[in-house]
Amino acid sequence: MTTPGRRTAVARLVQLLTALALLAVLTACAGSGDRHVTVMVPWTAQDEFGAFYSVVEDFEHDTGIQVDVQVTRALTQQLDAAVAADAPPDLAVLPSPAAIAHYVRGSAPDLEPLDARTVDPGAYLEPFRGLAQVDGATYAVPVKIDVKSLVWYDTETTDTPRTRSTDALHTFVREGRLDWCLGLASGPTSGWPGADWIADIVLADAGTRAYASWAAGRLPWTDSAITRAWTRWRDLVGTATLKKASEAGFTEATQAMAARKPDCRLAHGARSALAAALRKEPRFDFVAPAAHAPLEVSGDFIGMFTDDNPAARDFVHYLSGARAQQTWVDAAGSAAFSARTDGIVYRNAVQQRIAALLKPASGHPLCFGAADMMSPDTAAAFYRAVLDYADEGGDVSKLMDRLQQVQTSLGAEQVPQGDICSGPG
């Protein structure tokens, strides 16, 4: 028989254990509720942001970690300001290898290295893998990539161009009396579509070695291979189209291709930059590059600016994995391609063909966009020169002299060390 005193002791013990258990649950809940990570991204378009956010939602569901997303079109300027104020986000998209180098090699390094537990560098294609590293350490993860060297057309209204060489396209445009859908306006980075196109012409005409040397600041802007690319771009697009392009946004300009009576028929650039209508309609296709032709590529990277938030490291690890990459690719309206070497499935025929171009077996050397390899100030001067050339035309040699002066004054301290190009050539 249990005595009243013993019953009281047992009851108190039960109450104490219950209270301790409740306290443990509350503490765990509070701990998981406090786990959050901030990330700054440049994806303002609904489709592009929605694709990324589908990955965020899966991560939050699986881990209980809250992701606070800061969206800005002026990412470089806003991130610089936040870093200068010693208040950076935990993570941020870095739109170029030059940005990675900038935040690693600055007077007070801001990016944190990512260890092998966070990301496996061997899981990624070149040149993206090497360009995420500085001095052998990995500082960023390539979360989405694309091919810039593509010429787009409507298969229902336009004959298929035979090749994407500048000379062949020039003849095709002239004989067909076709106009390009081109816009150069893009907020703080206005001019980039022209810079990408000029770089693509340098790559096609001068080859990978000259291209890489120019992007790294060793081949001068005044070299004939560079000046010729500017004039060939002007001749291909036409002065009237260039004049209009400085006031139009690139994505909005490509939207005109989808009109019932389009006033332009061709576009140049990455699939991710096209208007949503062109990405959703299977009739819009790109001209197949010639065998072994070098291709200009792009990539968005994620870097970590904190060393004391394990949740940030968890999110980077998640983003680097095949599951998150597949979710990103599959999201409605997504234009993402993965830099992973394994396991990503593309449902759309056009996506499959672009993804195949990014694989080593394609035989295409892949070269990162030249402007994205330059120091931020040099790239900004490049974009400004594109706008000036589109608006005013004139003597390209004077523009190149001015760009060379900028390059010389800034030097090449922040040019990434990794190989700009990968593959044969």
Q: What would the pLDDT profile of 296-324 be if each residue is shown by its tens digit? A: 999 999 999 999 999 999 999 999 999 99
Question: 3.40.50.720, 3.40.190.10, 3.20.20.410, 2.60.40.420: which CATH number matches 151-296+367-415?
Answer: 3.40.190.10
Q: Give the pLDDT band of residue 4 (cuts 50, 70, 90).
A: very low
- Convert the pLDDT of each residue in 331-368 to its tens digit: 988 889 999 998 899 988 999 999 999 999 999 999 99
Residue 337's beta-bridge partner residues? 145
CA distances from 131 to 238, 253, 318 (A): 35, 31, 20
Q: Please report, for residues 10, 17, 31, 60, 122, the alpha-carbon distance to residue 20 in angstroms, rounded to integers and kept in the order given.
A: 15, 5, 16, 28, 46
pLDDT at 6: 40
Average pLDDT, the chain: 88
Mean pLDDT of 117-122: 93
In whole angstroms, what is the distance from residue 396 CA to residue 393 CA? 8
Confidence band of 247 (pLDDT split at 50, 70, 90): confident
Distance CA 253, CA 266 (A): 10
Closest CA to 237 of 184, 163, 162, 298: 184
What mean pLDDT is predicted for residues 129-134? 93
This prediction has a pTM of 0.89
* Residue 399 in tokens: 């523009």
Look up the CATH architecture of domain 37-147+297-362.
Answer: 3-Layer(aba) Sandwich (3.40)
Strands (E) across 294-407 are located at 295-304, 366-368
Cα–Cα distance between 323 and 152 in angstroms, integer?
30
φ, ψ (nearest 5 deg) of residue 340: -70, 150
Distances (CA, A) of 312 to 33, 66, 114, 304, 309: 15, 10, 11, 7, 6
Could you read off the pLDDT of 140-194 as tens digits, one per residue? Answer: 999 999 999 999 999 988 888 878 888 889 888 888 888 999 999 988 889 999 9
Q: What average pLDDT score do residues 360-384 get?
A: 93
- Every domain of the chain with CATH number 3.40.190.10 lies at 37-147+297-362, 151-296+367-415
pLDDT at 142: 96
**Tens of pLDDT along 188-223?**
889 999 999 999 999 999 999 999 999 988 999 999
Report pLDDT digits (tens) over 264-290. 999 999 999 888 888 888 889 999 999
Which is nearest to 298 in space by CA: 369, 400, 378?
369
Q: Indicate the range of 4-8, 62-66, 124-128, 379-383 predicted with least confidence.
A: 4-8
Asked whether 147 and 362 are in contact (CB, 8 A), the reply is no
Quote the percentage of the chain above a pLDDT of 70. 89
